[in-house]
Structure 1
Amino acid sequence: MTLKKVDNIVWHETTIKKEERNKQKGHKSTILWFTGLSGAGKSTLANALEHHLFQKGLSSYVLDGDNIRHGLNKGLGFSDKDRKENIRRIGEVAKLFVDSGTIVCTAFISPFKEDRQLVRKLVDEEEFIEVYVRCSLSECESRDPKGLYKKARSGEIKDFTGISSPYEEPEFPEITIDSDLLSIEESVAQIIQYLQAKQIIS
């Protein structure tokens, strides 16, 4: 997919600034980027965290990899090129959520370090929090909630992360959640503690 550069488009500054939205909502906006193998528990954890934030009256939203591929990224496959475009698009969407004053939880395998780094550079420092949901491949396979590993092993699914396509582990994630050792409640508590320590939420 080739993206054409358009020269006659100028960025239009908004009247209300991100800082004003954050002040009104009582917390800072940020991207919590959940990355990990299929079956590691990214979506489950992102939704559990959002539920906690919602209960506290904070503005949050979950962008889930499968859900995004039903609409915005419907035409993309799973080749390396399409995976990169998938992450580029969601990075731009997540940036808009940050500008709106929202804590956005994105649950994407996002297997390549380079792509995650590109999203990090879209926002200000400390507005991108990489959450590595770490889980062994064997445990993810034993869970196999969608039956994808079984299909990948049999050759029905090509370019499947962890089997026929690589997953590049984060080197320095802000948060690492060992999802095969911690409960959902313990995992959410670990993230909340981080957000409080960084004064993103009170």
Structure 2
Amino acid sequence: MHDVGRCGWCGTDPLYVAYHDTEWGVPEHDGRALWEKLILDGFQAGLSWITILRKREAFRAAFAGFDPEVIARWGETEVTRLLADPGIVRHRGKCEATITNARAFLDLGGPDAFADRIWAYVDSAPLQPDRPDLASVPGFTPLSEKLSKDLKKAGFRFCGPTITYAWMQACGLVNDHVTTCHRHAVLR
């Protein structure tokens, strides 16, 4: 397994390797799953992704399976509960943003409308930039800046261009597996 080419960011942690090999960069078309991943990418801001990955099941439990219809009705009582949960990242702004983002998600029309809207940014097909190494992978792009701006205009929070680009990569809107990675050609 160690001589399989991979993107260097995943290292050798078995959880990270499994995430890289089976999930990261795979085109996600389910609107609710896209929303969950956007929320988790927002929580990742300032932290490493492996931290969020290790806490993902606790996040799912704490946030009602990331059901936007449930979360949209939450208020201060639920924020207080979340801030006391050691299984998640306890950040008031990010917890409150999740509630705001649930409302914005529903205002946009829910899962199907959200997925259609997001995939329209890439004309319904993953971008294929053919990056030779990690140094050539940008932290954000003009497209992630536009998507970020549009999400913020729709009422979303914690979705700056860097978060949005990481989300685009994770959800397969852009194939940023480096060309020497065994996943690059599979997802081409």
Give your verdict on TM over 0.5: no
Question: Which has the greater radius of gyration?
Answer: 1
Structure richer in helix, relative to its length: 2
Structure richer in strand, relative to its length: 1
